[in-house]
Amino acid sequence: MNIVCIGGGPAGLYFGLLMKARWPDHQITVVERNLPYDTFGWGVVFSDATMDNMRQWDRTTADQIQEAFNHWDDIELLFKGRTIRSGGHGFVGIGRKKLLNILQVRCEELGVILKFDCDVNSDFDFPDADLIIASDGINSKIRTQYEDVFKPDIATRPNRYIWLGTHRQYDAFTFDFKKTVHGWFQAHIYKFDDDTATFIAECPESVWLAHGLDKASQEQSIAFCEQLFADNLQGAKLMTNSRHLRGSAWLKFQRVVCEQWWLKNKHGSHVVLMGDAVHTAHFAIGSGTKLALEDAIELTRQFEIHGCEPAHIPNVLTDYQESRRIETLKIQNAAWNAMEWFEVCGERYCDQLEPEQFMYSMLTRSQRISHENLRLRDKKWLDGYEHWFAQRFMSEASTAVTTTPPMFTPYTLRSITLKNRVVVSPMAQYCAHDGIPTDYHLVHLGARAMGGAGMVFAEMTCVSADARITPGCPGLWNDVQTLAWKKIVDWAHLHSEARMAVQLGHAGAKGSTRRAWDGIDQPLAADDTEPNWPLISASPQQYIDGVSQTSRAMNETDMARVTADFVQATLRAAEAGFDWLELHCAHGYLLSSFISPLTNQRTDAYGGILENRLRYPLAVFKAVRAAWPQHLPMSVRISAHDWVEGGITPADAVLIAKAFKTAGADVIDCSSGQVSKREKPVFGRMFQTPFSDRIRQEVGIATIAVGAISEADHVNSIIAAGRADLCAVARPHLANPAWTLTEAARIGYQAMPWPKAYISGKRQLETNFERAAVQAAIATLTSK
């Protein structure tokens, strides 16, 4: 076969040598526009795991890289005059030039033809090639030439960065944050050979412009960075090796994702993208070179599987694309989180967080490194952090006795203290009769109160009969209901330490539907216990087009009536003994229908701009707050993202949270969606936590994170990083009422109090988890 790699970066060179080592008879050429050794950049890093992978595929290059690389474990933060260091992070650093030299020499040894100083115009320059590898980097000409086929999605990010080097000696991957009059800068610094380190300075575009860096030459930019980071550099100079770049040396990162990775051109040659040409990963996670090398490995592996003949190329390329696309998307997602963290840290974290928590937040920025993962990396550092965190919420005496994981620290608001950070999220059960909670609710909520969570929410409780979602929803509009709730709340208070919360709501246009198991969101049918009742909401709407009843727009009289219903229900909730009240302003229900532009088309003072759309929900909030005892907390649940173009965005959610904070809300419960059937949510572990994080830092209000939080590790990571004050856990509590007790035992937190009558189950559960952990460790050891 005749194979040509356009571009002699890590991807092209490594693929060339892997193929030549296996099939020496094939002709393999790497064509590079630069001269040998003439390259942009300083050092690159990758993990120990990447090295192991390379060792399996070409021992010679892996050994040479191993000899040349610098290995280090520590990450050091320089922030607000403090130095904080944690270990166990395992990086390999190598000069980009050195890496390319090793790959070039190995290519030559094996007989790969290397053509330098040759700028390729198009794949048609190689009409005889069976396979053309477009490994021509982030600005790939070949990708652009066929963009209608490859369909690249290129996102240009807002931050500016400059890639420099220095001879100052560093013994850790160092992050240095500096505040200027115009905002924050950060430097990412890592050593890659005996006397050189990469030094990337980065800041938001607005800060860069405010400092006039758009008009600065390379020399002036370097002088600026030398002055800004003078204490860190200790007299060492910053250097550039990108003088061939035109214009400013300050770049903007471009994230590249392609829909299609290969094609057959007019000459019958197959053309396939590889490395940065097909995907990029931000340097905040340092995986671009790793991805390029792994692409080369995977394509080689596919030739091994299918056979290295021209006839097999289409199958090889199909399977290469299939397996690499998913893998790279995972890394790109993690890199995206890490990149965003650095983009917003100046306005969201630097001024808000203390150095200890800032370090934790930075280390977990990609959401791939969890709390327990940090413990594996550096137990001493994490123990110290847990101690620091616990001290902020617990007495000296109790923190001195034992280390308390963040999840199990208490939390106090107004007069209410929750014994830990876990909340049973409100979950409709559809088992009430005439709005009256029954023995079902006593058993259901009682079991969860005994299950260890700091607070248990009852399901959405409706303020009037026509405020219900279904005939099975409970309410608080008469004395019988109030007494029934009081019985449940009293029972929970007597038999557990859990605090009890009520969530008051009005279903609006999503009311008068069947119980979930009979047909969620479907209007009541002839065989239901009640006929349909008329619906009201901000504007006339059908939740499901052509299926739902159409709601009527509320007039001022409706508004006054519903506000009065909320106030009455609030007084009853206080009478029933609830400790906490949440106003339901999410999920497309009545109050949410005013907030979202998707469901509010009013032209009066309650429609139009966000300020107007918030007018009625805020009026209800204020009325409820005035009726709810001052010593008890109130939260507001919002949909922080409609997941529909033109709907509420996370940026709007910040403004919504601000408005409720000003009105007196203590906490924002950050949910999302369920406002429109057109929504396209992006699910994943802890997928709504970023909304909570943003609101907490930018508004300065306590938050509840919710959504796919299903392990103690998730809760610990969220609370420790300051991404929320509480975590609401819903579906896991359907499977296991004692979810919190179980998770405490799983992570070995033995100070967790259990209900007295259950205590003999505690030690057994802990022992079973300990045994399972030992067995898992033995299995891992024996499989190596």
Note the residues at the interface with ligand FMN (CB under 6 A). 425-428, 459-460, 503, 584, 586, 637, 671, 706-709, 729-731
The amino acid that residue 230 corresponds to is A
CA distance 178 to 527: 68
Indicate the residue among 712 and 729 with the shorter CB distance to ligand FMN: 729
Per CB under 6 A, the list member of 17, 78, 258, 292 interacting with ligand FAD is: 292
Q: Shortest distance, CB of residue 17 to ligand FAD, whole angstroms?
A: 13
CA distance 4 to 24: 15
CA distance 695 to 657: 7
**Binding partner of residue 460 among ligand FMN, ligand FAD, none, CB cut-off 5 to 8 Å per kind:** ligand FMN
Structure tokens at 191: 């050593």
Structure tokens at 515: 């119980």
Indicate the residue among 152 and 405 with the shorter CB distance to ligand FAD: 152
Q: Residues near 424 by Cβ (< 8 Å), separated by ≥ 6?
A: 448, 451, 453, 455, 456, 457, 728, 729, 730, 733
Q: Shortest distance, CB of residue 459 to ligand FMN, whole angstroms?
A: 4
- State which residue has the least CB distance to ligand FMN: 730
The amino acid that residue 4 corresponds to is V
Per CB under 6 A, the list member of 287, 321, 361, 676 interacting with ligand FAD is: 287
Residue 758 gets which letter from DSSP?
G
Q: Shortest distance, CB of residue 159 to ligand FAD, whole angstroms?
A: 11
> In three state form, how does the secondary structure of 156-180 look?
ECCEEEEEEEECCCCCCEEEEEEEE
For ligand FAD (CB under 6 A), the number of binding residues is 33
Q: Which residue has the tokens 């290969």?
A: 262
CA distance 80 to 177: 8
**Binding partner of residue 427 among ligand FMN, ligand FAD, none, CB cut-off 5 to 8 Å per kind:** ligand FMN
**Binding partner of residue 264 among ligand FMN, ligand FAD, none, CB cut-off 5 to 8 Å per kind:** none
CB 574 within 8 A of CB 629: yes
Q: How many CB atoms lie within 10 A of CB 546?
A: 5
Q: Shortest distance, CB of residue 488 to ligand FMN, whole angstroms?
A: 16
Residue 576 gets which letter from DSSP?
H
Residue 412 Cα distances to 420, 502, 726, angstroms? 10, 18, 11
**Binding partner of residue 671 among ligand FAD, ligand FMN, none, CB cut-off 5 to 8 Å per kind:** ligand FMN
Q: Shortest distance, CB of residue 460 to ligand FMN, whole angstroms?
A: 3
Indicate the pairing of strand 411-413 with strand 422-424.
unpaired
**Binding partner of residue 285 among ligand FAD, ligand FMN, none, CB cut-off 5 to 8 Å per kind:** none
Indicate the residue among 104 and 671 with the shorter CB distance to ligand FMN: 671
Indicate the residue among 107 and 460 with the shorter CB distance to ligand FMN: 460
Q: Pseudo-torsion of CA 135, 40, 17, 151, nearest 10°?
A: -10
Question: CA quadruple 708, 712, 714, 715: dihedral positive or negative?
Answer: positive
- Which residue stretch of 30-38, 225-233, 453-461, 506-514 sits at the interface with ligand FAD (rule: CB under 6 A)? 30-38
Q: How many CB atoms lie within 10 A of CB 139?
A: 12
Q: Shortest distance, CB of residue 565 to ligand FAD, whole angstroms?
A: 58
Indicate the residue among 200 and 730 with the shorter CB distance to ligand FAD: 200
CA distance 380 to 291: 32
Determine whether 715 is exposed, middle or buried from the number of CB atoms within 10 Å of its CB (0-12, 13-18, 19+).
Answer: buried
Indicate the residue among 174 and 420 with the shorter CB distance to ligand FAD: 174
* Binding positions for ligand FAD, 65-94, rule CB under 6 A: none
**Binding partner of residue 425 among ligand FMN, ligand FAD, none, CB cut-off 5 to 8 Å per kind:** ligand FMN
CA distance 357 to 75: 15
Q: Shortest distance, CB of residue 704 to ligand FMN, whole angstroms?
A: 9
Q: Which residue has the tokens 């890590």?
A: 10
Question: CA quadruple 94, 100, 104, 106: dihedral positive or negative?
Answer: positive
Residue 464, sorted as left (phi over 0), alpha (psi -120 to 50) or beta, turns out to be beta
The amino acid that residue 316 corresponds to is V
CA distance 587 to 585: 7
Q: Residues near 96 by Cβ (< 8 Å), separated by ≥ 6?
A: 39, 40, 41, 42, 43, 44
CB 1 within 8 A of CB 312: no
* Binding positions for ligand FAD, 221-240, rule CB under 6 A: none
Per CB under 6 A, the list member of 17, 21, 32, 489 interacting with ligand FAD is: 32
Q: What is the C-alpha end-to-end distance of the chain, expressed in Å?
A: 38
**Binding partner of residue 731 among ligand FAD, ligand FMN, none, CB cut-off 5 to 8 Å per kind:** ligand FMN
Indicate the residue among 118 and 427 with the shorter CB distance to ligand FMN: 427
Q: Residues near 59 by Cβ (< 8 Å), separated by ≥ 6?
A: none
* Binding positions for ligand FAD, 620-679, rule CB under 6 A: none
Q: Shortest distance, CB of residue 260 to ligand FMN, whole angstroms?
A: 34
**Binding partner of residue 637 among ligand FMN, ligand FAD, none, CB cut-off 5 to 8 Å per kind:** ligand FMN
The phi and psi torsions of 657 (rounded to 5 degrees) equal -65, -40
Per CB under 6 A, the list member of 72, 208, 261, 283 interacting with ligand FAD is: 283
> Judged by CB under 6 A, does residue 46 bind ligand FAD?
yes
Structure tokens at 259: 């829909």
Q: Which residue has the tokens 């107007």?
A: 612
**Binding partner of residue 32 among ligand FAD, ligand FMN, none, CB cut-off 5 to 8 Å per kind:** ligand FAD
Q: Pseudo-torsion of CA 419, 423, 429, 433, nearest 10°?
A: 50
Indicate the residue among 357 and 688 with the shorter CB distance to ligand FMN: 688
Q: Shortest distance, CB of residue 235 to ligand FAD, whole angstroms?
A: 24
Indicate the residue among 584 and 746 with the shorter CB distance to ligand FMN: 584
Residue 726 Cα distances to 407, 715, 720, angstroms? 8, 8, 11
Per CB under 6 A, the list member of 95, 204, 288, 737 interacting with ligand FAD is: 288
- Which residue stretch of 226-234, 273-281, 648-656, 745-753 sits at the interface with ligand FAD (rule: CB under 6 A)? 273-281
Binding mask 139-168 for ligand FAD (x = CB under 6 A): --x---------------------x-----
Q: Pseudo-torsion of CA 59, 63, 69, 70, nearest 10°?
A: 110
Largest CA distance in the chain: 89
Q: Shortest distance, CB of residue 144 to ligand FAD, whole angstroms?
A: 10
Q: Shortest distance, CB of residue 598 to ligand FMN, whole angstroms?
A: 18
**Binding partner of residue 386 among ligand FAD, ligand FMN, none, CB cut-off 5 to 8 Å per kind:** none
The amino acid that residue 147 corresponds to is E
Of 430, 589, 606, 749, the active-site residue reads 589
* Binding positions for ligand FAD, 354-383, rule CB under 6 A: none
Binding mask 177-216 for ligand FAD (x = CB under 6 A): -----------------------x----------------
Binding mask 100-139 for ligand FAD (x = CB under 6 A): -------------------xx--------------xxx--
Residue 260, SS3 per DSSP: coil
Per the annotation, the verdict on 589 as an active-site residue is yes
> Judged by CB under 6 A, does residue 31 bind ligand FAD?
yes
Residue 379, SS3 per DSSP: helix
Q: Shortest distance, CB of residue 701 to ligand FMN, whole angstroms?
A: 18
Indicate the residue among 141 and 637 with the shorter CB distance to ligand FAD: 141
Residue 501 Cα distances to 455, 460, 601, angstroms? 7, 10, 33
**Binding partner of residue 543 among ligand FAD, ligand FMN, none, CB cut-off 5 to 8 Å per kind:** none
Tell me the catalytic residues.
589
Q: Give the footprint of ligand FAD on this chain (CB under 6 A).
A: 6-12, 31-34, 41, 44-46, 119-120, 135-137, 141, 163, 200, 275-277, 283, 286-290, 292
